[in-house]
Every structure is written in structure tokens, then in C-alpha cells.
Amino acid sequence: MNRFRAFLAGMLGFLAIAAATYGAHRLSVSPNLPHAVETWKTAVLYHFVHVLALLSLSRFPKGFTVPTLCFLFGILLFSGSLYTWILTANAGWIRLTPFGGSLLGIGWLWLGIEALLRKPPAPAP
């Protein structure tokens, strides 16, 4: 088990719960952002899905570093930029969203390729 990945998944999972709770109970949106609630829900969904991906990667003591980093920075850029855009009503933040989405996609692609090419662990004696 990779304890750092499990820790990272735990912390990001807590933040996803906090974001979901905030969105459900406290989010007040500007009339200039008509789709803000749906956008917030999308950000939380992508955040959570990739936390679960990180948690599943924590089972592996080694390897999968690139997908881990892609998921981490993808969450920060994709979900983080959407959260910040809605909270600040500053549309400049959404310029980062496609980079985050691309990192999430690259993370999944790299995970699949690495899983295919990875040698299975040697059986225990």
C-alpha cells in the first residue's frame, strides 16, 4: 500500500465532501452565472471520481506516479478553477479548466497503458 496516495485521497476526499456540503447549503450564486449550481455539481463529481481513482492507486506500493500526479493536478485545475470561478464570479479562472480536464484524461490513459505494460508481482514464497 502506498500510504501517501491513501493520505492524499483522504484529504482530497474531505475537500470534496466540504465542497459538496457548501454547494448544497451555502452556495449563493450571482445572477450573471445562470448555470453555476450545475457547474458546481460537475466540479464536485469530477473531484470525487478522481479521489476514488487515487484511493484505488494507493493499493500499489510502487508505480503509477504519472497517473497520480495527473489526477492530483487535474482535480486542482479542473474542479478548483470551477469552484473559484463560481465563488469569485471571475471568468478568468475558467481558462484553467481545460488543462485540468486534459490532465484527468491523460491520467486515465496513462493508468491504462501502465497497467497493461506492468509486470505482475512475483508470487509470495
Question: Is residue 123 assigned to a domain?
Answer: no
Question: Is residue 66 assigned to a domain?
Answer: yes
Q: How many CB atoms lie within 10 A of CB 71?
A: 29
Question: Is residue 99 assigned to a domain?
Answer: yes
Closest CA relative to residue 69, chosen from 106, 35, 115: 106
Mean pLDDT over the full length of the chain:
94
Question: Is residue 124 assigned to a domain?
Answer: no
Question: Is residue 54 assigned to a domain?
Answer: yes
Instruction: Report how far residue 122's alpha carbon sits from residue 88's, in angstroms, rounded to the nearest whole number.
Output: 52
Query: What tens digit of pLDDT does each residue of 81-118 get?
Result: 999 999 999 999 999 999 999 999 999 999 999 999 98
The whole domain housing 72 covers: 3-28+37-116
Query: What tens digit of pLDDT does each residue of 15-32 get?
Result: 999 999 999 999 988 777
In the structure grid, which three cell numbers stand for residue 71, read together?
Answer: 489526477
Integer angstrom CA distances of residue 4 from 46, 62, 107: 21, 11, 18
Q: Can you list the alpha helix ranges (DSSP code H) found in the chain?
A: 3-25, 36-57, 65-74, 80-88, 97-117
Question: Is residue 125 assigned to a domain?
Answer: no
The domain total for the chain is: 1
